[in-house]
Amino acid sequence: MIVGVGIDVVDVARFIATVERVPALRERLFTPEERDLPDASLAARFAAKEAIAKALGAPGGMHWQDATVRRVVGEQPVVEVTGTVAAVADRLGVARFHLSISHDAGIASAMCVAERD
């Protein structure tokens, strides 16, 4: 059963300009393993985190670093949630996330489906 669906689109250049203007955002928004990704991939991770939050109903109080998006070559992206995001997912009965991310022509996008058994 689908709990929620989320989608987000990010202008890569605008996002990176914001991160460069406010360097603390990199640490606030991303886990250590995500922080050094190329610009387009970093913007796509941000879009993914937004899509994950929207799929969960966008409740307040979730921490950006409590969702990590891992890419395994040849496989779908993997969503790992901990802390505040895991607590919301557990409360909603979310068993798994289905995530698609993309970046091309200066745009990064992500779509997430939160599913319960």
Per-residue pLDDT tens over the stretch 66-103: 999 998 888 999 999 999 999 999 999 999 999 999 99
Query: What domain count does the chain have?
Result: 1
CATH code for position 70 = 3.90.470.20
Reported in sequence order, the residue ranges of 2-117 that DSSP labels E, i.e. its strands, are 2-11, 67-70, 78-81, 96-104, 107-115
The whole model's pTM is what? 0.94
Per-residue pLDDT tens over the stretch 54-69: 999 998 899 999 999 9
Structure tokens belonging to residue 16: 């990176």
Q: Which residues span the domain enclosing 81? A: 2-115
* CA distances to 22, 34, 70, 90 from 51, in Å: 22, 17, 15, 17
